Structures are given as structure tokens and as C-alpha cells.
Structure 1
Amino acid sequence: MLCSSFVFSQNASSTELTSENQKKHLSTEKKKLSASRTSEKITLDGIMDESVWQSAEIAKDFIMHNPDNGKPLAHEKRTEVRVLYDNDAIYVGAMMYDDEPQKIMREITQRDDDGSTDFFGVSVNGYNDGQQEFRFLVTAAGVQWDANANSTTGEDTSWDAIWESNVKVTDQGWCAEIKLPYSALRFSKDKDKIWGIQFFRQLRRYRQLYTWNYVDNNKGSFEQQSGILEGIKDINTPTRLFFFPYASVYENSNKINGSKTELKLGMDIKYGISDAFTLDAILVPDFGQTAFDNQILNLGPFEQQLNENRPFFTEGTDLFNKGNLFYSRRIGGRPSLRGGKVNQIKGEDEIIESKYPERINLLNAIKISGRTKQGLGIGFLNAITEKASITMLDTVTQQRRKQIVEPLSNYNIITLDQRFNKNSSVTFINTNVTRNGEFRDANVSALVFDLNTKKNTYNLSGDFKYSKVNEFRDDPNKEGVNTSLSFGETSGKVRFSVTGNYVTKKFDNNDLGINFQTNFLGTYGNINYRILKPNSILNSFNTNMNVNAQFENTTGKLQAGNINFNFNATSKDNDGFGGGLFLRPRKVFDFYMPQTEGRYVRLPEYYETWLYFSSNYNKKFALDFNPWVGTTSELNRYSYGFDLSPRYRFSNKISMVLGYNYYKEANTIGLYDNSSDIIFEKRHVTTSTLSLRSKIAINNKMTININSRYYWSYVESKDFKKLQDDGSLSYTNYSDLGSQDFSSWNLDCSYSWWIAPGSQLNILYRNNSANFNGGLSRIDKDFSRNFNGLWDDNLSHTFSVSLRYFLDFNRVKNWI
């Protein structure tokens, strides 16, 4: 959020410091601040009226980070920050002066959404190693936002800590008081603490971000340019043992299955094994209120990659995402033993008594993560899913049998990540899936490195991944390799990178990861230009050119060859715009679409162009628009579409975003049947998605959110082609009904109330339905009939209430 999610404009009213003073503020020497110990009780009311605040050292002289990097903050909008500490926490008090307090933007949002508002924040690095920070932000409306951030993977906003804050707007600006318990931080056991610290402030109406310690956009990452916090000493960290008991009740109903009531009780535990390491455990999982998956009509050879919505698998998982080997939806996802797998379900059998499960239940999961004083990060994650079976009926012999669709399975990840020089790391990661009995087991190991020069001007990175799969079949041990090497310049107006990638045919990390393509050699190149400071026309501008080529290892044929040009800019009015051009100037060979070993289909040249416009979100009405069009060298084979998303903020409490996406492919091709001959279908594909997101904020602790999505995609079959050995398609008299359509609807209406720090009450109503029709002679394109069909007989309803409460062991101990 600090560096990548904002578009800023220059404040024309800002006054310049003298060149001598500006040089001082832009010095590469890090600023230092000393924290003051307090025995006085600090009341978090947004007013720094305790006497101890007045004697504390002041952090001041903030410098602009974006857009005009290095420009001092004007005196009339100065920021002054003080830090106190006691045996329980550190306290941060900040006064954000503003000569126009009536213009301070303060939209009320739900937690972890900064919205259109001013904010103040603090980043703390308890090891002062320039690598990982814990960021805490409070908006002028009093909404909290926090993240776990590092220079490699960026910000993880799914990480949530327990901390307290309050704000108050005055006639001089606004004030924030923040309490950060030591249990929310990670730091060494040294008697005298030396922490990395950074303060930041956003002036939203100007889209400007300021930092206390100067962050040079031309070198290093945000994390490597923090200031120093001194003075904290002789503190004893408390026992970090937290309990999160919860109770949930669900009422599910539809016309087919009737109503069902379900009560769930459980508890999550978070335990600080040491000052650096934390254990998280799910004793009884309950993911009933996670967001719906946005299903699509998938016509391609690869599975749909779904977003992770379960907090346990999104919070603090940066260590486990090293090397891109972890796709958490494998855990508790769809059964692995489908057609074509071990113990596959026979074609003449039919399922009776129980339907095929959509997902496997998670029994329990734990994760341990942290980092030593020497910079060694250690991560351990283990999850167990239950055995699942269905009852099958042999339609020939009429005999019934139990069929295992997922055995009892154990999923495990181990990560060792060594950081050094405050900007580099080497990582070892291993993923393992073990299934009970003679079912597929898999093990993948990787060595990953990310090396930067001392001045952060050049980067060398790469990896070596090795997979071994035991399928208990004719080829029981399948082994493969995936390796890459990249070099690039990472500073200056002009930057570049070059990358090579080699993947063997049998590399397979799909048991706990996701990987679509294997058996190729790839080369990639990028060169880009950016302006480092605003000019008279634009606040920001960058342009890129990317080139890549992939060659299939067995045949040496070109399977990808693309050139991409694009630019992105921000106007002085903070409107974003850009566009691009994608070129595939040669025919390529697709080895995946036929879904048959050793076969491929030839694809024509392809050309695509697009534009986008995103108006300033500070205005009550804003608009995003993104049209695009593509064509091929084949006659009448083309595609086009657009995204249109208007949004309106009625007040600081109510806002609405409407989204519409339209996508049309004409005379495209796709696999239809490969049971004997490989038959491709020539077809038109039309897809529309309509969504609505609305928010009603009662206050900064209570919000009502209503989200809905309607999706409709249909395929009109034109004719059929037979795949030839050279990858071309020829006429065939194959005749079938290939047209199909798929539509889905889902609605989420939720009320969320943060009743206390870390404690939340959620009330949720949702309904959803889906329709699929295949083998149609024609498509019914009537919108009303399609939409109403979703509401007829298969609409499912869920009403649920969930209470999750935070208990600190130290507080419970005092109660007892």
C-alpha cells in the first residue's frame, strides 16, 4: 500500500526549504529518535494531554515519498511524532497539522481498507535488518490497517495484529494515538533495543505520501530506508499466548434439500514460542463465512486458479510462498482421485447415496514461523485432511461398492530463509504431500536466491526446483526439474532485466502447488523507462517493452513468442491512463490444448491493443474503463471486450461500485473430443459479468457490506475440425451438438462489528445458484429468462451468525 497502491499529485501550495536545509533532510544518514519510558497511564483518546508526551523527543521534518520524491512537507502541514514505552507496549503519538482541517478526507471503511482518507502510520523492524517490517496505520476516520511487509514479497495485508488506536480532528489538523503491545511485534532479546522505524503520512486530497526518514525512490526498497529508534531497554516481553474461541450457527436451505441447521464451536490458538517465533493452530476449522469462489466456464486445458479466502492460509504466509511452490487451495480442496487418477472411478458406475464431494474437510492445521537474530527465517506448516468415500453402483452387475475419492492426507511445508546485507536472501523450501495407502505421494524441494548489490543498483535472482512423485503405477517415480536465472538493473530512469527458464517434462508440483506448463526452454527480456519526479504535464509515467520466447524441449518448436509494449501515466489531476500493444508475429504450437501426449495444434499470428482510464478516486464519482480488441491472421477470427466500473461515494459512510465486463471471441477454436480422433470445435464465445459492491459504515467499528455477482458465458458451436499430425486442422464430417452455456449468481450481505480489539461479530446472509447446459442445438440469448432460471429451483440460502473473541493469556491470568 505504501509504495504501489497510490497515485499522488504535487501540492502546489507546498513551500520549499532552503537548498542547504533540503540537503540536510535528504542526507543518506538515517534519522534517529529516542523513546521515553513512562510510568504514567496513557489514555488512548486521540488527545496527547498526558504530561509525559510533552517531554518526549520529536520526530519531524517529513519528506515526500510520492509523487515528488524528496520534496519537504510544508510547515503549515508539518507532522510531529513522539514515542513512549512501558513494560507492556510502545505508544506513538502524532500530530498532523493542517491549515485547512475542513478538507481532511476521512471516509469510514472496514478494517484494512484505507479508502479515500488521510492516514498516519508507523513501520517497526525489531531487528533493524532492512528486511521485514510490521506496519500499523490509522486513518483520520479511526479505521485500523496493518500488514506484514518485506522487500521481496511486498505487503501481506491479511496479517492482523491486536493493537489499539484513536484519533481526533481539531482546528489545527488531526491527532493519532497508537498503542503497540510487544506481543504484536518481533524483536531481539538485546538489553538495549535498536529498532528500525519509519513514520508515514498521507495527504489524500493531494495524493501525497510523506515519510520521516527520506526514502529515495531511485535506490533500495522502502524497508531498507527506515530510521532508527533507540532508548527502549529493560523490558520483559509478556507471554504471547492468545486464544480465539468462536461459536457459529448456520441455517442452510434450498427447495431440493430443505433446511438444515448446524452449530459449530471451536478455537484457534496463537502462541509465541519465543520472542521471534509464533505457533498458529486451528483446532476445529470453520471457514463457513469465507467469500464465494467466482466460478467461470472453463474452456481451456488448465484448471481455474482460485483465490484463497481462508484467513489461516493468508495471514503471515510470506515464508511459505517463497519459490511459488505453495497453492493453499490444494489443502481441503476438490478430491484428487478423479478420472485418470489412481483407483479411478469406472465409466459404467454411477454414484448413489452420496454425491461427489466438492471439497475435502480439513481436520486441523498448524504453522510455526519466525526469524532469528542472525536473520534466519524458519517456517513450518502442517495440515491434515480427512478420508472421503462415495458409494458406487455397478450398472451391469448391480453391485455396490465404496470408492475412496480422497485418502487421509498430510500436507507439509518447511522453509529456511537466510537474509543478509539487509537486501538479499537465500531460501530452501520443501513441500510434501503424503496420502495414506497406495495413493499418490509427492515431494518438491527448491533453492531460491535473491541477491542485490550494496547500493541496490543490480539484482541477480534465480531458483532450482526438483520434484519427485510416486504414483504407484507403471512409472512410480516421476522426477523433474524447473530452474531459472535472472539479472537486471533496479535503479535509475532506465532499467532492464533478462531471464532464462528451463523446465523438464516430468516436473510436477501440483499436489501442493500449481503449475500449468512443463517441458520448455524460455527466454525473457524487459526494458523500461520512468520519470522519477513529476514534470509540468504528468505526476508519473513509465513505459515497458517485454519480449519472450518459449521452445518445446522435445520438438524444438516455438510454443510462445510475444512482444509487449505498454505505458502507464498519472495526470496532474490524479487521473490514471495507459495502454499497450501485444504482438505474436509468428505462428506458435500449443502442446496443451489437445490434452493428448505428443500432439499439438498450430495457432495463428495474433495482435491485440488496449487502453485504460481510471479517474481520481478522491472525487465522489469516479470511473474505470478498459477497452481492448484483438485479431489474428485468420479471416474473421478476432476478439474484443471491455471493463466498465463506475463508483460513487454518497458520503463518508456510504459508497457503491458497479462493475461490468464483456468479452467476445469469434471463430476461435477449442478441444471438443479426444477419445479417438482429436476433434476441435470452431465456436463463438460470449461472456458477461455484472457485479455490485456497496458499503454502509455505521461507525469505524461497524460496517454493512453487500456484494453480488452475476456471470453468464455461452458457446455457439459453428463446425468441427480434425487435428492433423502437423498441428493443422482439416474439415471433418463429425456432427454433434456442441453449444453450451453456464451462468451463476451469488449474493453476500454481511454485518461486521469489532466489539473489542481482536474480537468480531459477523452476521451473514448469502444465496447462490448455478446452471450449466451442454449439448444444445441453439443458445437462448434472452437475458431475463437466463437470470430468472437461476432463481427458480436451485437457489441456495445461508444465514449465519459467528462470534470470535480474543483472549490474552496475561489478562485471563489476572482475572483468575
Structure 2
Amino acid sequence: MRISHALLLVALFPGVGVAQQLLAKGRAAPATSSVKTTRAVRATKPPVIDGKDTDDIWARAQKIDGFRMFDPVEDGEPSMATEARVAYDDRNLYVFVRAFDPHPDSIMALLSRRDERTQSDYIRLIVDSYHDKRTGYEFMVNPAGVQRDIYLYNDSNEDVTWNAVWDVKTAIDSLGWTAEFRIPLSQLRYPRKDEHTFGIGIHREIARLGERSSWPLWRRSQFGIASQLGELGGLAGISSPRRLELMPYTVQANDSRLRADGYGRAQRMALGADVKYGLSSNLTLDATINPDFGQVEADPGVLNLGAFEQFFEERRPFFLEGTGIFRYDIDCNDGQCTGPFYSRRIGRAPQAGFLSEDQNAVPLNSTILGAAKVTGRLSNGLSLGVLNAITGRESVAESLTVEPRTNYFVVRAQQDLRGGRSGVGAIFTAVNRELDGYTENYLRREAYTAGLDARHRFGPNSAYELSGQLYGSVVRGSEEAIARTQRSAVHFYQRPDDDLAYDPTRTSLSGVGSGLGLSKNGGLTRFWTGVWYKGPGLEINDVGFMSSANSMGQSNWFAFVLQRPKWFYRRWQVNFNQWNSWLADGMNTGHGGNINMNGQLRNMWFVYGGLGGEKGAYCGACLRGGPALWENHSVQGWAGFTGDQRRAVYPAFEAFFRRTDGGRSSSINLGPRVEGRFASSFSASLGVSFNRNIDDRQWLGNFGDVGSDTTHFTVARLDQKTVSVTTRINWTASPTLSLQVYAQPFVTGGEYSDWREVVAPRARGYDARFRPFTIEGEPGGFNFKQFRSNTVVRWEYRPGSTLFFVWAQGRVQDGLDAGSFRFNRDYRNLFGAHPDNTFLVKASYWFAM
């Protein structure tokens, strides 16, 4: 019987043998608080960066060994040895790493575009040049020579969009593989001193074993990354150069787009430049003039039927890089946080485009004339970020203004205290628009936001953190513009059943918000508990993102984090969530919770699942400014998995369901995906998303004057089907030459029926809330189709200098076959629609002075 059980485990978990070997080696050593140290030697002659240790300096440099495993076993003996050496001169930091491997032919070395992580072995070099134990620069490379660079801030947060110009060469030989780094000191920031001590850490990943080790040991059970680094001494006589980097670029594009007289083509050429200048040893200026982001991947397709604005992630390089320093999180959900600064407001689609009779003549985006930001960290522990951007006036037929000239300003400061274990911060934003007769009744003239925050870590290993924030806003404009603000989905001042007074004569609106939280990070058990408040008049959406104001609540999260491998898992986490929310006047808008878990099995599969729900509560936004509507209790669940990514082809799947309104409303989403790497340089993925949504009370329209007792607030039963297919193809000829293809057709169709108006919104009986609505005829339906694709060839023909060849295509069809969904017909019609094509060539040249 024992033999059969063992055979069953091996069959189900083919990686169990490897994991047992790692576990056997995981003999825990006593924890120690001493900081590991090493020294760099000065190089009189720069080493040749070729991935070999034949230069004299590597024979003289101090050897770093004693690496310890941190995954899957914390403080275990690594399966394979690793050694490193560090040297420097006036201009560069040099690091040589030898990763021993008895089976060099099994080393996983996959080609990909720079900054793309693959299932490969890796060496990661972390340098805390400030030696503040809060920040750092990460330089990664795999055996194929593919580079990644990351900025580390707040001790544990990683900004993967940070880019630097550095060099590394790798080699695979009979002993394993090597990586030889040359990090220009101009890419690091540090104060002026005669002698420096940097924080340093070196991590190694062995992909085929799922094993990671480091020097010094990084304990996953403790909070922080930068605070656990070792120390690198011996850095004497290095200057802090005022770096000047210029990257001029030119763009030549050919666009086809529908106009009033039919489809036409237009040629455009643009010149621009990016500038990076070291204002001091600690502060850097980044600026862009007339930027073009034609190489950036398009947003996924979506049809938003909800009350609130759709959130899209930032993808533009200038606004991505270094954004961590500007973070001031207000709303967070599953790792996605929003707050007073949302960089996609800069260069947004024209807000008054609806004024134009010819929608095809409205520009897709506002033109960014220029933007600049100053970021850095002073020697006293003050982190500073300042950003200013200007967008130009956008018009139709040179007369109708659809977006005014606008200035955006953001400043964020954070002061570390107690060696980074505590801190205080502030943020201020300002938006000023040059309005005219076309826009003054629709847009706010000026908007300001200010906030304070503080944090305090305490307890063993500083595992506990108390944090709080207080912020406020004020917006000003014409009576009509502020009235539109009050009626917007963020506020709904016109709701007839609350204490808020809708005042169409106001010319300003202000509000405050606050939050307080206590958390524990690290260890077997972790938690977060907090409360928040957002006043009815709070408005941050001119350069921030907030779905709704007028709310308050509390939430709790508690987790068991099991990081030591057991019989069926490598790591496992169980989460418990609970929340309550109310409107600011105390009306209950949600009491709910869930239990979910996720983990990695012994066979390297990642799995997750959860089940939760909410009790009956009021919905303040469901009727879009109408009275609060009682919602029945709901239940929802989700599950999914991702296969072993070491395999040439692996599957993934996700599923979600929700049921409410006593079974009258339900939603199910299925998302199978398959990913494959068919050669070391070629990979592809294909994912399908299917959604069936039945909403028995989908809002359909309000009829009547705002505030009138004859207003009809109506809903209907919606039966909607949505299918999207996402395809990605990646081919990498070398670490500097790659091809990427992204394509997504998106089709959704829905039919409305049983049109009703709300007569008793607070009734507990479902049917008692509604009665038939026949004034406007039949409710109808919709059918919306969209296709978006990007094909990008990227060639980094010299370090920092790139050439892009881009083909972007879009197709949209709206209204044909409204009220129905047929997969074959709709996809055939979508690809029969006339395409909008953009062909673009962008060339940039980087040089430093």
C-alpha cells in the first residue's frame, strides 16, 4: 500500500523527486542579524567584458561565496555553488559571477526581448548605492545574455519599467555559466564622499530545479529586500558625475482613417527628444519633447456598461519609468492601486469630443507638447519627485475646441525616519486649463489635490506597520461645469434620497478623504486591517483616478503563508477577507467576505481558487443618480491554474461565476489559454475569454428632469455574450533584435427585455421594486465589435539606441445585428470592416556626455 501511494505521488507530481532533494538539502541554520560584508578592488586596467575571468583583476578580487538557498527552502544548502567578485574604477562597477553547474547542457537559456522574463536561469545583481536600506538598482541577465533592469523602492516594491544603459556578457562552459557585468557609475545615484559603502546582493535562479539562492541570504519570511542586503566597501575616490544623456528621435508615419468624405491616408513626420541630466549626485532630470508612443501596445477591447470609468494601465515608457516615487495609494484591489496621480490623464482622449458632429474628425489623443520630471533621493533620506507636463489645444476644423491647452503638475515628497522604518510624506497636484467658449461649460478650469501620509514600522524584524493618510481636493469652474461634476458618476449629488444638496449655481467643489491601517508583513501569519473615508465633494480625477467618492468603510485581510515545502506544495497561502462599506451618511452599501487560496504545487503548477459573497445592501450608483436600490445577497467564486512553465507547451485556465437577485442575475467567465516556446527564440500564446452575463436589472436610462418627482429610473433584463481571443507571438533573433505581435478581436452582443421602472427601490421583495415601463417602446440591444493589433520590430543597434518598425491596425463595427450574438457571423463581419492602419518607423540615438 505504501508503494502504491508513492507511485501515485510520483505520477501526479513529477517534480516531487527534485523537490525532495532540495528539501533534504534544506538544513536550516540559526538566524543571524550580522550583516555580510565584502570589498571591491580598484582596477588599474578595465577588464574586457567577455564573460571570462581571464583578466588579472578577477584573480586579485575578493571571492564572495557562501550562497544560501531561499526558495523553496529558506536558509538551505544550494544544489550548486556560486561565486562572485567585485571591482571598480573611476567610471564603472564590475562584477563577475560564476554559476557552477555539473550539467551545462541542461542550463535553461531562452532568448527574448530585453526586460521580458522567461523560464531561464538568472543572475540578479542588486546595488543599494545610497546605502539607505530602502532603495536599490537590480541588474539581471540570463545565460542567453538577455538583460532586465529594475528599480527597487520602499524596501520591497519593484519598478520593472526603470531602464539603464549597462553592459553584460555571459558564457556557458564546462563548469556551468558566467556573467560579467559593467555598470556605469553614471547610472547609479549616491552622495559625494571620499569613500562609499554600497548595499549589495547577488541572487541566482536555477530554472529547471525551481531553486533560488543568494548572498547574503534573503529571508522571504521577513519584510523587505533592500534592508537585507550585504555591504560592499572599499569604494574610494569615485566621483558623482553629472550625467547628461540625450536621445533625439524621428518618427515617420502613414495613417489611414475614416473621415467625413470617406477613408483617406495621411503622412506625418515628427521630431522629438528625450533628455536625462544629473542635476546633482542625487537628483536627475528627465524630459521629453514632442514624445511619440506609437510602439506601445494597444489597450484591450472593452464595452463598459457600468456606472464607473474603465481603468487602463499606463504603457508609455516616459510615464512608466520611475513612477513609484509618485505613488500615493488610496484605493487598492488585488495589487492594483489608484490615487491622486494617474499619468494616463496626460495626453488623454479629448474630453469635449462629443461636441463634434463628425466624430471621425476628433483626434484620438491630446498632443503632449513636453513633459519633465525631477526625481531623486537626498542624503538625509528625503525622496523627491516633481513632474510637469503640457498638452496642446485640440480642435476640429481649427475652430471647435475639443480639448483645451492644459498644464499638469505633480510633486511628491517622502522623508524617511528611524533608518527608513518610519516616514512621513506629502503630495500636491495641480491642473490648469485654458478654457474658451466651447469648453468652459463642460470642463473644470482648475483642480488641486493635497495630501499627507505617514508610516511607522515596529516590532520584531519591523514586521508591523501603522500607516495613515489625510488628503483633500478643490476644483473650480463655471456653474455648468461644476454642475456636471456634481451629477457625474463619481458623486451623484442629484440622488433624491440622500442628504446631499445638488446646487447648480456652485462654481467650486471640495472634499476630504482619509485612511488608517495596521499590517503585519512577514512570517507565517500576515494581516491588514484598516478604515477609510472619502467625502462627497472629493474630486481627484483631473490628474488622478477615483471611481467614486461619498463612501467610507473598513476591511480586514488575514493570511497563512506557508513557505516551507510539504508533501504536495512548494508554497501555499490561505487568505481570509472581510469588508463593510457605507455611504458617507451611513447607508449600508456592502457587507461581505471571501476565503481564497493560492500556491505552487510540487510539479511547479500554480493553482488558486476562492469563494465569497455579500449580504443584501443598497447600491447608490445602480440607478445613475436615482435613489439607492436594494440589492439581494450575492455569491461568487473563482478558480484557475497555470501549468509548469518549464515545459515547451503548458496550459492555463481561469473561471469566475457570480449569482445574485435570487438567481435572476448571473455571470460566468471562462478563460482557457495555452502558451508555448517552440524554440529558444520563438514563443507564442493563444487565450480565449468567454463571458455570459445575465443582468436582470441592468440600468437602461433615466427619463425626466433631474430632481423632478416624475423622473423614471429604468432597468431591463440583459442577456449578453462576449468572446475575445488574444494572440501573442514573440520571435527574438538576438537580445537586441526582436519581433512582437499582439492581436485581439473582441465581440459582444446583448439583448434587452422586460423593461421596468423602479417604484419602490428599498423594498425587500424583488418584484415589488419594479413595474413595467412602456413609454419609450422596445428596449432594443447592441452588438459591438473591435479588433486591435500591434506588430513591432525592435532593433537596439547600439546600447540605448533603437529602431522601431510598427504596424498597428484597428477595426470597429457598432450597431450591425444589434441585440444578437452569433460567433461566426460576428467575427466574419468584424474582419470585413474597413481597417484603420498605421505604419510607423521610429529611430532614436542615445549618447552620453
Q: Normalized against structure 1, the TM-score is what?
A: 0.92
Equivalent position to 1:757, from 787, 791, 799: 799
Counterpart CA distance in 1 for 2:399 and 2:653 is 53
Pairs within 5 Å for 1:86-125: 86-125=89-128
Counterpart CA distance in 2 for 1:274 and 1:117 is 38
Counterpart CA distance in 2 for 1:540 and 1:149 is 24
Q: Which residue of 2 aligns with 1:397?
A: none
Instruction: For residue 402 of structure 1, report the CA deviation from its aligned partner.
Output: 4.1
User: What CA deviation, in whole Å up to 9, does each residue of 1:141-188 have, x standing for no partner?
Assistant: 100000111236711111100000110000110000010001111112
Q: Which residue of 2 aligns with 1:681?
A: 716
Counterpart CA distance in 2 for 1:58 and 1:425 is 37
Q: Which residue of 2 aligns with 1:251?
A: 254
Counterpart CA distance in 2 for 1:679 and 1:45 is 71
SS of 1:205's equivalent? coil
Pairs within 5 Å for 1:33-112: 33-74=38-79, 77-112=80-115
User: What CA deviation, in whole Å up to 9, does each residue of 1:733-772 have, x standing for no partner?
Assistant: 2422420011111222221111111111111122111111
Pairs within 5 Å for 1:237-636: 237-253=240-256, 256-323=262-329, 324-337=339-352, 345=355, 351=357, 355-390=361-396, 402-420=399-417, 421-437=419-435, 439-453=444-458, 455-473=461-479, 474-554=505-585, 556-584=586-614, 586-596=615-625, 599-636=627-664
How many residue pairs match? The answer is 775
User: What CA deviation, in whole Å up to 9, does each residue of 1:593-651 have, x standing for no partner?
Assistant: 2221x622222211112221111100111111112322224244222121111111111
**Residue 798, structure 1, aligned to residue 838, structure 2:** yes
Q: Which residue of 2 aligns with 1:3?
A: none
Q: Which residue of 2 aligns with 1:396?
A: none
Q: Which residue of 1 aligns with 2:693?
A: 665
8 A Cα contact 1:10 1:67, kept in partner: no
Residue 846 of structure 2 aligns to which amino acid in structure 1?
Answer: F
User: What CA deviation, in whole Å up to 9, does each residue of 1:644-692 have, x standing for no partner?
Assistant: 1111111111111111111111243222111321111211121111011
* Structure 2 portions without partners, runs of 5+: 1-14, 330-338, 480-504, 705-711, 763-768
Equivalent position to 2:822, from 777, 782, 788: 782
**Residue 704, structure 1, aligned to residue 739, structure 2:** yes
SS of 2:831's equivalent? coil
Counterpart CA distance in 1 for 2:277 and 2:100 is 40
Counterpart CA distance in 2 for 1:354 and 1:646 is 37
Counterpart CA distance in 2 for 1:777 and 1:695 is 36
User: What CA deviation, in whole Å up to 9, does each residue of 1:208-250 have, x standing for no partner?
Assistant: 2211011222222112100000000111233300000112211
* Structure 1 portions without partners, runs of 5+: 1-6, 340-344, 392-400, 810-816
| Compared CA separation, residues 493 and 153, structure 1 to 2 (3 A) | closer
Residue 627 of structure 1 aligns to which amino acid in structure 2?
Answer: A
Residue 219 of structure 1 aligns to which amino acid in structure 2?
Answer: Q
8 A Cα contact 1:565 1:580, kept in partner: yes
Instruction: For residue 356 of structure 1, report the CA deviation from its aligned partner.
Output: 2.9
**Residue 138, structure 1, aligned to residue 141, structure 2:** yes
Larger CA deviation: 285-294 vs 519-528 = 285-294
Q: Which residue of 2 aligns with 1:732?
A: 773
Instruction: For residue 13 of structure 1, report the CA deviation from its aligned partner.
Output: 4.1
Instruction: For residue 494 of structure 1, report the CA deviation from its aligned partner.
Output: 1.8
Counterpart CA distance in 1 for 2:839 and 2:362 is 24
SS of 1:465's equivalent? strand
Counterpart CA distance in 2 for 1:571 and 1:382 is 47
Residue 128 of structure 1 aligns to which amino acid in structure 2?
Answer: H
| Compared CA separation, residues 770 and 57, structure 1 to 2 (3 A) | same
Residue 234 of structure 2 aligns to which amino acid in structure 1?
Answer: G
Residue 540 of structure 1 aligns to which amino acid in structure 2?
Answer: R
8 A Cα contact 1:114 1:139, kept in partner: no
Counterpart CA distance in 2 for 1:246 and 1:356 is 26
Counterpart CA distance in 1 for 2:646 and 2:836 is 38
| Compared CA separation, residues 569 and 153, structure 1 to 2 (3 A) | closer
Residue 643 of structure 2 aligns to which amino acid in structure 1?
Answer: S
SS of 1:285's equivalent? coil
Residue 162 of structure 2 aligns to which amino acid in structure 1?
Answer: W
SS of 2:824's equivalent? helix
CA-atom RMSD in angstroms:
2.1
8 A Cα contact 2:788 2:811, kept in partner: yes
8 A Cα contact 1:87 1:237, kept in partner: no
**Residue 214, structure 1, aligned to residue 217, structure 2:** yes
Residue 423 of structure 2 aligns to which amino acid in structure 1?
Answer: S
| Compared CA separation, residues 152 and 31, structure 1 to 2 (3 A) | closer
Counterpart CA distance in 2 for 1:685 and 1:630 is 14
8 A Cα contact 1:496 1:526, kept in partner: yes
8 A Cα contact 2:371 2:388, kept in partner: yes
Counterpart CA distance in 1 for 2:47 and 2:308 is 56
SS of 2:542's equivalent? coil
Counterpart CA distance in 2 for 1:216 and 1:783 is 51
Counterpart CA distance in 2 for 1:213 and 1:402 is 64
Counterpart CA distance in 2 for 1:767 and 1:15 is 51
Residue 34 of structure 1 aligns to which amino acid in structure 2?
Answer: R
SS of 2:208's equivalent? helix
Instruction: For residue 496 of structure 1, report the CA deviation from its aligned partner.
Output: 2.1
Residue 641 of structure 1 aligns to which amino acid in structure 2?
Answer: N
| Compared CA separation, residues 574 and 441, structure 1 to 2 (3 A) | same
SS of 2:828's equivalent? helix
Residue 764 of structure 1 aligns to which amino acid in structure 2?
Answer: V
User: What CA deviation, in whole Å up to 9, does each residue of 1:307-327 have, x standing for no partner?
Assistant: 212111100111112232111
Instruction: For residue 563 of structure 1, report the CA deviation from its aligned partner.
Output: 0.8
SS of 2:662's equivalent? coil
8 A Cα contact 1:8 1:207, kept in partner: no
Q: Which residue of 2 aligns with 1:638?
A: 666
Counterpart CA distance in 1 for 2:276 and 2:377 is 16
SS of 2:540's equivalent? coil
Instruction: For residue 549 of structure 1, report the CA deviation from its aligned partner.
Output: 0.8
Residue 604 of structure 1 aligns to which amino acid in structure 2?
Answer: N
Counterpart CA distance in 2 for 1:355 and 1:250 is 18
Counterpart CA distance in 2 for 1:57 and 1:303 is 57
User: What CA deviation, in whole Å up to 9, does each residue of 1:446-505 have, x standing for no partner?
Assistant: 112222116222111121111111123221221101111001222321222211011110
Counterpart CA distance in 1 for 2:130 and 2:74 is 27
**Residue 746, structure 1, aligned to residue 746, structure 2:** no
Residue 427 of structure 2 aligns to which amino acid in structure 1?
Answer: I
8 A Cα contact 2:530 2:554, kept in partner: yes
| Compared CA separation, residues 267 and 445, structure 1 to 2 (3 A) | same
Q: Which residue of 2 aligns with 1:693?
A: 728
Instruction: For residue 288 of structure 1, report the CA deviation from its aligned partner.
Output: 2.1
Counterpart CA distance in 2 for 1:363 and 1:69 is 51
| Compared CA separation, residues 489 and 254, structure 1 to 2 (3 A) | closer
| Compared CA separation, residues 605 and 515, structure 1 to 2 (3 A) | same
Q: Which residue of 2 aligns with 1:769?
A: 811
